[in-house]
Amino acid sequence: MSSRRRSWPSFSSTGDGPTDGLVIIIVRRYGTSIESVEIAFDSNALNEIAFRKSQAFSMSVDEFQARYVPVQEYSLTSEAEGHVHGETERALLDGLETQIGEIEDVLGEGEVLTVESRQGVDYPKTRGRQKNIVVEGENRLYFYAYVDPPLRMVRYRKS
Q: Count of domains in the chain?
A: 1
Stated pTM of the model = 0.82
Q: Does 133 map to a domain?
A: yes
Q: CB–CB of 102/113 below 8 Å?
A: no
Domain around 89: 26-158
Report DSSP state, residue 18: B
CA–CA separation, 116 and 74 (whole Å): 9
Q: Does 49 map to a domain?
A: yes
Nearest to 110 by CA among 2, 25, 34, 7: 25
Q: Does 1 map to a domain?
A: no
What pLDDT digit, counting tens, does each position of 68-97 carry?
999 999 999 999 999 999 999 999 999 999
pLDDT tens across the length of the chain (159 residues)? 443 434 444 343 344 544 344 445 899 999 999 999 999 999 988 789 999 999 888 999 999 999 999 999 999 999 999 999 999 999 999 999 999 999 999 998 889 999 999 988 999 999 999 999 998 999 999 999 999 999 999 999 998
- State residue 76 phi and psi, 5-degree precision: -100, 135
Report DSSP state, residue 44: T
Q: Does 151 map to a domain?
A: yes
